[in-house]
Amino acid sequence: MTLRRKETLAAWLFLLPGFVGFAIFVFGAVVFSSVLSFFEWDMLTKPTFVGLRNFTKLFLEDKTFHLVFRNTLWFVLGTVPTRVLLGLIFALILVRNIPGRTFFRAAIFLPVIIPTVAAAMVWRWIFNADFGLLNDFLYQIGVSNLPRWLSDPKWALVAIMILSVWKDVGFSTVMFMAGLQSIPTTMYEAAKLDGANAWKTFVRITMPLLSPTTFFVIVINVISSFQVFDQAYVLTGGGPGNATNTIVYYIYNNAFQWFRMGYAAAIAWVLFGIIFIATFVQFRYQRKWVYYE
Amino acid sequence: MRIKEKVLNWWLFCLMLIVAFIMLVPFFWMFSTSLKSLGEVFEYPPKWIPRQPHWENYARVWSVVPFGRYLLNSVIVSGSITLLHLLVASLSAFAFARLNFPGRDKLFLLYLATLMVPGQVTMIPNFILIKLLRLTDTYTGLILPNVFTAFGVFLLRQFFMTIPKDYEDAARIDGASRFYIYSRIILPLSVPALSTLAVFTFVFQWNNLLWPLVVVSKDSMKTVTIGLASFQGMYGTTWNLLMAAAVIGVLPSIVAFLIGQRFLIKGITLTGLKA
């Protein structure tokens, strides 16, 4: 055996355990899932081929899907800018030499690591319309028309957004802090010598040099927000009506409550398409504002 | 200028106090409610500190549902996924970073491409497979499909690439095998990256709701997350018990965070510096 052959063999031995698993649970699953999306199957009777029926139904007829798509889109538009902006502000403050910054960073990051289920349980209690902490606070400051957070279709999605921002703002904060700390201090010294004020320094130095981090934080936040599920499952169960039903929740219901496997697979692929397009557009657009050294 | 800075920092400190208050108040409220009697829960105005702590709420939660079992299941499942993922990902990453073979870069690209596919796409076929193999309600069913993600392979490959080749040359000349180089040279040098990956994987799996929800129906196989969710289903508005359960649910994460915070951040900065 030649040396090259030996190395190839060795490489495949290293790859084998991972490759077998990938072939079954990832590559195989992707292929199977795409085939499945052209079938109707309840896991009891034989699958029937329906061509593009699942997709045409999804796009043209299924009003519930249109609703869950809108809900999810509102959720993304509501939470991503908030999380990114607040994360940036917190990070800008926390890289300064203020007292107690280690404590503040820990306080902001703590919700990130706890299970969303547990977080949603507490917030369900906080959002309680009659005995909840939030409405009590709003009452104290003089709000008369107290929202019935979780049972009012107008407010339920907002409640989920508030919980999600609280839960995940720490991730953006920590990423921004790392990004800010990697900007060389010589840049700021040069700006100072040139007599730039704080605002100018921020716009001309901090923002451009931080833009790769900002880009990364936005992309990750958009991808994960499109997959929102846990919050809605625990806080509202998708209700009232379908007011907080999301795409992933709809996939879950179709596949594991109603056993419409083919239809669920089709929705999952549409979700992939949505995330792919959203990410692709951002990558396309980044040349206009992301600054790479 | 100096004084202006100081005044500004003082204002920012006050602002951060409010922010920290908002971030921590749910934790405090959770704990406070968990120690109240049901009558006190519905008292108005709400009391921050219970008149007298009802620790028996915890005993009741513990006796109604097998939370000890849920915690044990979560430890077994998250721990096994983490260990297996670290093993499988480091072996693959070693091949991608350190060995030459035809099609290597194309295969790596294929691995990377799977990072874009959301978990919901693969979840449906994996559920069908687990069901056909009669592995629902088993540890294998909870663990196996979650071991194989490209993220760890990618992270470790990037890290392995930064380790200078000279380190292994000496061992090579002495006739060391590739497995020796992997296990005795590359892995020990990669402890920061491996521990970071381990922490992320463990936390992520500990908090996983959707997959256990799908493959588990037996009470004895439930993990903490779905245990909490079904407990809420049973005790919808018994807030003191619900909050006691939630405290049990967040406590392991908080303890891990307090112990691991320094180590975790060190790991991140170390990998950040090297990668």
Q: What is the 3-state secondary structure (H, E, C) of chain A?
A: CCHHHHHHHHHHHHHHHHHHHHHHHHHHHHHHHHHHCCEECCCCCCCEECCCHHHHHHHHHCHHHHHHHHHHHHHHHHHHHHHHHHHHHHHHHHCCCCCCHHHHHHHHHHHHHCCHHHHHHHHHHHCCCCCCHHHHHHHHCCCCCCCCCCCCHHHHHHHHHHHHHHHHHHHHHHHHHHHHHCCCHHHHHHHHHCCCCHHHHHHHHHHHHHHHHHHHHHHHHHHHHHCCCHHHHHHCCCCCCCCCCCHHHHHHHHHHHCCCHHHHHHHHHHHHHHHHHHHHHHHHHHHHCCCCC
Residue of chain A minimizing CA distance to B41? A131
- Bridge partners of A40, per DSSP, are A48
User: What is the per-residue pLDDT for B263?
Assistant: 62
Q: Which residue in B87, B102, B226 is closest to A8 by CB distance?
A: B102
User: What is the per-residue pLDDT for B265?
Assistant: 59
pLDDT at residue B102 is higher than 80? yes
Instruction: Mutation target for B interface from A2, A5, A7, A14: give the one with most B CBs within 10 A.
Output: A14
Q: What is the mean pLDDT of residues B192-211?
A: 89
Check if B109 contacts A (Cβ < 8 Å).
Answer: no
Reported as a single tens digit per residue, the pLDDT across B136-147 is 999 999 999 999
Distance CA B40, CA B60 (A): 17
pLDDT tier at A69 (50, 70, 90 boundaries)?
very high
User: What is the per-residue pLDDT for A23?
Assistant: 93
Q: Do B257 and A12 make contact, defined as CB atoms within 8 angstroms?
A: no
**Average pLDDT of every residue of chain B:** 88
User: What is the per-residue pLDDT for B273?
Assistant: 36
Write the CA distances from A102 to A52, B16, B20, integer angstroms.
Answer: 55, 11, 11
Q: Which residue in A94, A226, A234 is closest to B229 by CB distance?
A: A234
Read off the pTM.
0.89
pLDDT at residue A77 is higher than 80? yes
pLDDT tier at A293 (50, 70, 90 boundaries)?
low
Q: Which residue in B92, B102, B120 is closest to A18 by CB distance?
A: B92
Locus of tokens 């007829």 = A61
Residue type, B206: W
pLDDT at residue A86 is higher than 70? yes
Is residue A113 a contact partner of residue B257, using CB atoms and an 8 Å limit? Answer: yes
pLDDT tier at A58 (50, 70, 90 boundaries)?
very high
Which of the given ranges, B34-38, B169-173, B271-275, has the highest pLDDT on average?
B34-38
Q: Do B92 and A15 make contact, defined as CB atoms within 8 angstroms?
A: yes
pLDDT tier at B164 (50, 70, 90 boundaries)?
confident
Worst-scoring range by mean pLDDT, A34-43, A101-110, B227-236, B254-263? Answer: B254-263
- Express as a percent the part of chain A with pLDDT over 70: 99
Domains of chain A: 60-289 (1.10.3720.10)
Reported as a single tens digit per residue, the pLDDT across B233-265 is 888 888 999 999 999 989 988 888 887 776 665
Reported as a single tens digit per residue, the pLDDT across A230-268 is 999 988 988 898 999 999 999 999 999 999 999 999 999
Worst-scoring range by mean pLDDT, B22-26, B112-116, B129-133? Answer: B112-116
Q: What is the mean pLDDT of residues B1-21?
A: 88
pLDDT tier at B267 (50, 70, 90 boundaries)?
low
Write the CA distances from B266 to A88, A293, B229, B263, integer angstroms.
Answer: 22, 26, 34, 5
Q: What is the mean pLDDT of residues B112-139?
A: 91
Compute the C-alpha angle B123/A158/B237, nearest 5°.
80
Which B-chain residues 73-102 have CB contacts (< 8 A) with chain A? Answer: 87-89, 91-92, 94-95, 99-102
Distance CA B35, CA B50 (A): 7
Q: Do A275 and B100 make contact, defined as CB atoms within 8 angstroms?
A: no
Reported as a single tens digit per residue, the pLDDT across A173-193 is 988 998 888 888 888 888 888
Q: Do B116 and A279 make contact, defined as CB atoms within 8 angstroms?
A: yes
